[in-house]
Amino acid sequence: MISAGVTKYWSLTMFLLFIFFIKSLFLIEGKPQVPCLFFFGDSLFDNGNNNNLVTLAKVDYPPYGIDYPEGPTGRFCNGRNIPDFIAEYLDFEESVPPFANATEADYLTGVNYASGGGGILDYTNYFLGQRYDLKMQIEHHAYTVSQVERILGNAHKSKELLNKCMYISNIGNNDFLDYFLEPILSPATKLYTLDQYAGVLVQAYSKQLKILYSYGARKIAVFGTAPLGCIPQVLHKYQTDGKPCVEWINKDTQLFNTRLLSLVDQLNTNMPDAQFIFINYTAISYTDIIKFALSGFKVINIACCDSKSTTGLCYRDSTPCPDRAKFSFWDNYHPTEILNMAAAKRMYNASSPLDTYPMDLQQLALK
């Protein structure tokens, strides 16, 4: 005969096993924080869209991808880039695929449209060859939207889904690098003062963001420029006056960042059903770079791979530094995986009020 104590023991045991089983299901089948994720941008975000283009801005060869499971994929990095980490923090099981390789299923869950060499203006980096500027990237998104409408059956269901998705744009870096590094080739230097140029860029950006809104985007994050005065390609051209970075270039790009921050406020006021946020990429990466410099552990001013002086990209099949975790920059333009991870973490969950405005990506996902 089974005692009451034994019955009680087994009842408690079965209850605890049931709770453990339910929790395990949630851990295994946890869904992403947003139903779909779309990226726009330049080489800092590109994960393969330039592979089939006729362009100098293409990295589908070793040593790129040396620390990425699939090897060279078109990511301008030794391993994962910022979109990879953001997707991971938002609980996506896999990285968001490039538009160039997107399948029908991908249109419903997210696509990366970023293109190495791309800018806000269509003539930015024209001398590199083919690349997708922001306007073309949003045109590619328009195609995605048409496919979502077709798959779901109507525009209403499509917008219902797209309203819940997250849209992240990191562009404008090349527009300024042209201005500072290629003044002879850049049409902008002949048309505008730097202050006027910042205004032109933000005006063009605003137009494209409004188009993106018209396609159903409601959760939109826009990046300010990276700390361009800190990249090795800039350090090779300009004097730093004993500082880790060319500070006047970082200061000059703030003309754009300040206007972009004001644009975020303006868009939030004029489009109350949407939420725009500003990612202060300069503040995030700059503080990480300086922190690495003060630690004495990281190399912050030299690329990990042997890079061409013309394009700033790694020589094909060259042998990079053995300990990539000790370097901030992979080539003369792009951060290593470890710096991308540190930056993405602060974008997702801001560690300072200066990192994001008015909220971080984690909070945006909940909107």
How many alpha carbons fall within 13 Å on the CB side of residue 201? 31
Q: Quick one: 98 exposed, middle or buried, by C-beta within 10 A (0-12, 13-18, 19+)? A: buried
Q: Please choose, from the candidates 226, 231, 225, 230, the residue with its C-alpha nearest in 3D space to the C-alpha of residue 313.
A: 231
Catalytic hit among 42, 43, 141, 288: 43
Contact between 73 and 148 under an 8 Å Cβ cutoff? The reply is no
Q: Omega of the bond prior to 353 within 30 degrees of 0, cis? A: no
Number of CB atoms found within 10 A of residue 120's CB: 25
Q: Is residue 331 among the annotated active site residues? A: yes
Q: Quick one: 130 exposed, middle or buried, by C-beta within 10 A (0-12, 13-18, 19+)? A: middle
Cβ neighbours of residue 267 under 8 Å, at least 6 residues apart?
Answer: 206, 209, 210, 213, 274, 276
Catalytic hit among 141, 328, 334, 360: 334
Q: Is residue 43 among the annotated active site residues? A: yes
Q: Which two tokens stand for residue 135?
A: 């306007």
Catalytic hit among 67, 133, 288, 331: 331
Tokens 């990429």 correspond to what residue? 281
**Helices and strands in the chain: count of H runs, count of E runs:** 13, 8
Please give the torsion angle defined by the CA atoms of residues 301, 130, 132 and 195, in that order, rounded to the nearest 10 degrees: 60
Q: Transcribe 287-350 into DSSP letters.
A: HHHHHHHHHT-SEEEEESS-B-TTT-PBPTT----S-GGGEEESSSSSB-HHHHHHHHHHHHS-
Describe the chain by its helix, strand, coil percentages, rounded to 5.
50, 10, 40
Q: How far apart are CA 175 and CA 259, in angstroms?
A: 15
Catalytic residues: 43, 331, 334
